[in-house]
Amino acid sequence: MFTSKQRAKLRSLASVMKPVGQVGKEGITDSLLKGLSEALEARELIKITLLQAAGEDGENLALNLADLLGAELVAVIGRKAILYRRSSRPDFEHLEF
């Protein structure tokens, strides 16, 4: 879990990011999970669009997605979710927050 200051810092970092993926009518698929996991490994912080066609409430969908990816849900703003997972790569310069 993050403190409110850490969460605010991650939200500000994500505010200028473009979404790396979207969850649509297909829901959460294996290929979506693989792509998002790779993005988290490469960036640590990602933004995802949760389309209305997904059918689920955005918060529940984002929580489910974070759980499946082993990530922390930073925030859900409208239909956008921000996820964080520390990279396991040894040569990676980790986010400071």
The CATH number for 61's domain is 3.30.110.60
Residue 65 has pLDDT above 90, yes or no: yes
**What does the pLDDT average to over 23-52?**
94
Amino acid symbol at 70: G
Predicted pLDDT of residue 22: 94
Decide if 93 is inside a domain.
no
The number of domains in the chain is 1
- Asked whether the beta carbons of 97 and 10 are under 8 A apart, the reply is yes
Give the chain's mean pLDDT: 93
- Asked whether the beta carbons of 27 and 95 are under 8 A apart, the reply is no
In the numeric block, which tokens belong to residue 55?
A: 């059918």
Band (pLDDT 50/70/90 cuts) for residue 7 is very high
Helical (H) or strand (E) element with 6: helix 4-14
For the chain, percent of residues with pLDDT exceeding 70: 99
Say what the pTM is: 0.92
Predicted pLDDT of residue 92: 81
Decide if 96 is inside a domain.
no
